[in-house]
């Protein structure tokens, strides 16, 4: 049964989308984080370019219907496995933490 509840559509699938988008935009996440660490209180001004690049990358994924469908399929697969086994699996990261 692939019918989605409100919480699945509005919370659980968007969470997968956020996690995957952060992984796919990891170079921009790292650049923004590095800039913030290096500039301290001036990060709002000094890291504007990195922040914009990060936002553009994330929003590009969030607004992509095919990306939503990929994440929905991933969620439904996880839900099916959980219903069959009763064991909740942790999502594997696409890229290792460095």
Show Cβ contacts of residue 78 under 8 Å, excluding neighbours closer than 6 positions.
Answer: 88, 89, 91
What does the pLDDT read at residue 97?
Answer: 46
Query: Mean pLDDT score of the chain, rounded to an integer?
Result: 89
> What number is the average pLDDT over the span 27-38?
95
Six-digit token string for 18: 């956020």
Q: How confident is the model at residue 98 (pLDDT cuts 50, 70, 90)?
A: very low
More confident residue, 41 or 68: 68
Residue that is written with structure tokens 């956020």 in the block = 18
- Spatial distance between the Cα atoms of 9 and 28, rounded to a whole number of angstroms: 27
> What number is the average pLDDT over the span 67-77?
96
């Amino acid at each position: 049964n692939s019918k989605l509840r409100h919480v699945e559509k509005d919370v659980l699938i968007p969470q997968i989308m956020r996690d995957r988008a952060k992984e796919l935009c990891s170079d921009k996440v790292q650049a923004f984080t590095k800039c913030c660490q290096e500039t301290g209180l001036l990060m709002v001004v000094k890291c504007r370019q990195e922040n914009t690049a990060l936002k553009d990358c994330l929003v590009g994924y969030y607004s992509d219907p095919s990306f939503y469908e990929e994440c929905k399929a991933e969620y439904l697969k996880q839900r099916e496995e959980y219903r069959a086994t009763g064991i909740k699996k942790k999502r594997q990261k696409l890229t290792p933490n460095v």
